[in-house]
Chains A and B, each alone.
Chain A
Amino acid sequence: MKDTRRVLRWFPLLAVFAIWPGSRPAVADQPQHLAFRVGKVVTMDPQNRVLNNAVVLVRNGKIEKVGPAEGTSIPKRYELIDRPDHWLVPGLVEAHNHSAGSGRDLHDYVYLTNPGLRTLEALVPESNDIKRARAGGVTTVHMIPGSGNNLSGFGTLTKLAGDNVEQMLIQSPGSLKISQAGNPERYWYGVGRTFMYYNLRQTLQKALAYHRQWERYEKDPSAEKPQFDLFWHDFRGVFQRKVIALIHTQWYQVVMSSVDMLAKKLKMRIVLGHSTFEAYQTAPLVLEQGDIYASNGPRQIHFDRRQRKIMGNAARWWQGGVRKLGVNTDAGVIPQEELPYQAAMACHFGWKPYEALRGVTRVPAETLMLENRLGSIEVGKDADLGLWTGDPIDPRSACELTVIDGRIVYDAGQQREF
């Protein structure tokens, strides 16, 4: 344990040689295998199992075993982390982040639609923001460009540990970012919704045409090979539904258009990236579409001035039947480390704690199509874990240890950051 702590905070030099799944050699004083014996494991697996007094074994960056403390022997060479009063929960997943970069590349106001752009190049490993996020138990974020224009490029799925982008990266492009109404209306005088819809549709139709060309060629190699175009090529994943489209969309009318244009007509796999204000009123439409995820935030409440009521947005989506529901921080609007606090506020205003915790772990993992690797404590999945003094969404609970890919990347025992 002491060894762990020593390594933990200032590991940049060591991390060059750090374990990376499969490929890299193990560092001498970074234990290869971890064993957690804790009071409670919230697995967030499909059965929603919560194990009291359980053991979780971590080996080579993956979860090796999950079982009751009694009857699960801890093999030798495993560093035992014995916290009988702590909770072990999956590393938290943020579906809407702008703070993993320098902050200066949030918006590129080049055109109203900028298909070629990616946030990958903007990532800043080991920034203060990233370190703090880890102290809040956050292990994976979806870093996307801002909402200053209508289509601002492609986002990046990244873990919050690694000295360079290659080490951090999960997937790029990780998403297409589209912003409907609101902020992009400020792009230039006279840019209104009709024009944005027209412009967006036109851009997407062009991208779709490009994709179709390639599809034809792939089906029939005798056809003429289309010319590769970096400007449009990333869209192929979107139309193949391998890459999600995260939509900055908030008001009910705008959400309706997102559902209709993007999900229904263009068959994209969309995420409602804010889904705030009175957007919860579109719950029936969202449900009907079936494949839409709602990532609610940063606003957790809506003041309904038609009936003088404070609505908890997440609670209202939930009550409307939407289960593909998580919360986000829109970091740095809300600091990334306060992701679980967003869940707490969703609960304060009417949601339910377990669902809310699921809404910052498994659901965002599904939202980002990473559920095979992240979001739950199941054998074979990435060992992204948070060891908490209690219920993670209670602001009184602190994250004691954060583990990413089997490595302890934050230890409050050395210095508590949050």
Chain B
Amino acid sequence: MRRRSAVFIFAAALLTAGPSAGRAEDSKPKQPEARYFAVTKATVHTVTGPVIHGPTVLCKDGKIAAIGHDVAIPDDAEVLDAEGFHLYPGLVAVRSSGLVGNEPPEDNTNVYSLSMTLGLAGGVTTAVANDTAAKLSFGTLEDHVVKRNLFAAISYTTRDPNGRRTFRQALEQARRFLRDLQAHEEKKKTDPAAKPPDAASLKGLNQTALKLLRHEVIGVADADTAQELKDLAELAERYDFRLVVRGAREGWVSAAAMARAGLYAVITPRTRRDRDERSNHPNGSSIENARILHEHGVPFAIVPGSTSISTSGLAGRDLWQLAMEAAFAVRGGLPDDAAVRAITIDAARVLGIEHRVGSIEVGKDADFAIVDGDLLHYMTLVRWTVVNGRVAYDKQKDSLLEHIRPGGDRDAPPPPDYWPRRLGEG
């Protein structure tokens, strides 16, 4: 473990202007604006790398600058001693509502909302609203938006045969156009006067189809049944575009086809659909869906049944307990680490933002869920949530949950209550 972290330090020194590097070039004028933040002594679950015990995770201007046991912390750094706690990448919610504002989130997010606070209390640091991924940047709009125009929505179901045919034709047309274009490029090498492909054909082209084929955008489709999933997989494979399927309830039936086509999935392990015994095909939901997809190599993100956050009382069924939804995938046989990936790095991959969030690596955004135990355990509570190198949630400084196991004490007394008071009572 030690050796590995040494590698990390080395990487840090190479890749970033970490403090040690900064000191080496003292002659250069120091950047006055640099904002340092460090978490020390936590057990760091890097997700894409090893688990490191007790390193310093140094962040500069909202990015991870260095990870290691010998990282020097600048004097002006804000330091968070997280001894005894586990540091995970901030969780990524690939669907959400109410945590960040509607499009465009930077103009609509209430940066002090209760929903955002509860999302942070659940360890979520990145959430998708409509078609934009944004940070739960409590109290600030700095570096709020991560990525816009995440997906191009596709409808390709047997319920709409016309739409299905039209879309297929659009893809075909777009492919022909791209082939013509390529042929033209080839021809131009020998014959500079070669005629480019008919511009008129470009005009009638379905732009979504064109963008998909050019890999400029990720397609997204809602599909649950094995047949729909298979159809979509075939389409994506045939026309070679990137596609995310949301739902994928019967992914366990179509996993092989999905894997072949390179599909990504967004699943809810607890999805509940009874088998139709009249069908002689395998059907219905399966708690083993996640495991089977995983074993076939289909990357997926996990979302809970409800993608908002509610305080109405039914606990553990929305984004607040995103980690618990992942735990249900483990029940179906998914390895623990894959379950964690499904709400961190793989979720980031589904959104195409894996270079920014989803793991603890030098150069990535400093988004952490610092928790008091195994992330997937039902007793685990988030102690701090860090977004862009700032503490966005601190359980003991926020009234919401501070009374629950303060300092890990399972027998902590209840907070004093306000009995309903009658008129005249104090």
B403-426 vs A, CB cutoff 8 Å, 1 = contact: the mask equals: 111000010011101111000000
A349 on the interface (CB 8 Å rule)? yes
Nearest chain B CB to A86 CB, angstrom units:
14
Chain A residues with CB under 8 Å of B330's CB are 395-396
Contact of B314 among A278, A298, A316, A344 (CB under 8 A): A298
Nearest chain B CB to A312 CB, angstrom units:
7
Nearest chain A CB to B39 CB, angstrom units:
24
A417 on the interface (CB 8 Å rule)? yes
Interface pair B399/A308, CB less than 8 Å apart? yes
Q: A306-B418, A320-B414, A397-B331 are in contact. Are A348 and B316 (CB under 8 A)?
A: yes
A21 on the interface (CB 8 Å rule)? no
Chain B residues with CB under 8 Å of A299's CB are 312-315
User: Nearest chain-A residue to B401 (Cβ)?
Assistant: A310
- A307–B311 Cα gap in the complex (Å)? 14
A to B contact number (C-beta, < 8 Å):
110
Nearest chain A CB to B227 CB, angstrom units:
21
B283 on the interface (CB 8 Å rule)? no
A352 on the interface (CB 8 Å rule)? yes
- A78–B380 Cα gap in the complex (Å)? 41
Interface pair B316/A315, CB less than 8 Å apart? no
User: Nearest chain-B residue to A135 (Cβ)?
Assistant: B287
Interface residues in B320-377 by Cβ distance below 8 A to A read 321, 324, 327-328, 330-333, 336, 376-377
B250 on the interface (CB 8 Å rule)? no
Contact of B316 among A303, A341, A352, A397 (CB under 8 A): A341
Nearest chain B CB to A309 CB, angstrom units:
6
Interface pair A347/B314, CB less than 8 Å apart? no
Q: A299-B312, A395-B328, A398-B332 are in contact. Are A348 and B287 (CB under 8 A)?
A: no
Interface pair B288/A416, CB less than 8 Å apart? yes
B272-289 vs A, CB cutoff 8 Å, 1 = contact: the mask equals: 101100000000001110
Interface pair B336/A334, CB less than 8 Å apart? no
- A334–B349 Cα gap in the complex (Å)? 32
- A43–B376 Cα gap in the complex (Å)? 26
Interface pair A308/B419, CB less than 8 Å apart? no
Chain A residues with CB under 8 Å of B327's CB are 394-396
- A304–B399 Cα gap in the complex (Å)? 11
- A354–B287 Cα gap in the complex (Å)? 26
A353 on the interface (CB 8 Å rule)? yes
Contact of A349 among B286, B404, B420 (CB under 8 A): B404
Chain B residues with CB under 8 Å of A300's CB are 313-316
Chain B residues with CB under 8 Å of A352's CB are 410
A172 on the interface (CB 8 Å rule)? no
Chain B residues with CB under 8 Å of A278's CB are 417
- A416–B327 Cα gap in the complex (Å)? 16
Interface pair B399/A418, CB less than 8 Å apart? no
Q: A319-B413, A395-B324 are in contact. Are A345 and B379 (CB under 8 A)?
A: no
B232 on the interface (CB 8 Å rule)? no
A32 on the interface (CB 8 Å rule)? no
Interface pair A345/B315, CB less than 8 Å apart? yes
Q: A309-B403, A394-B327 are in contact. Are A418 and B315 (CB under 8 A)?
A: no
Chain B residues with CB under 8 Å of A307's CB are 399, 415, 417-418
A350-380 vs B, CB cutoff 8 Å, 1 = contact: the mask equals: 1011000000000000000000000000000
Interface pair B274/A347, CB less than 8 Å apart? no
Q: A128-B274, A310-B401, A349-B404 are in contact. Are A395 and B331 (CB under 8 A)?
A: yes
- A398–B376 Cα gap in the complex (Å)? 14
A197 on the interface (CB 8 Å rule)? no
From B275, B287, B331, B332, residue with most partner A Cβ within 10 Å = B331
A252 on the interface (CB 8 Å rule)? yes
Q: A395-B328, A397-B331, A398-B332 are in contact. Are A353 and B287 (CB under 8 A)?
A: no
Interface pair A348/B313, CB less than 8 Å apart? no
Interface pair A312/B419, CB less than 8 Å apart? no
B10 on the interface (CB 8 Å rule)? no
Chain B residues with CB under 8 Å of A417's CB are 287
- A238–B332 Cα gap in the complex (Å)? 43
Contact of B313 among A128, A281, A301, A416 (CB under 8 A): A301
Binding site for B on A (CB under 8 A): 128, 132, 252-253, 276-278, 281, 298-304, 306-310, 312-313, 315-316, 319-320, 333-335, 338, 341, 344-345, 347-350, 352-353, 393-398, 416-418
**A–B complex contacts, Cβ < 8 Å, 17 sampled:** A304-B417, A306-B418, A307-B418, A308-B400, A309-B399, A312-B404, A316-B414, A338-B270, A344-B324, A348-B378, A349-B404, A350-B405, A395-B330, A395-B378, A396-B330, A396-B336, A398-B332
Top 7 A-B pairs, shortest CB-CB distance: A299-B313, A303-B311, A344-B378, A396-B330, A345-B315, A300-B315, A319-B414
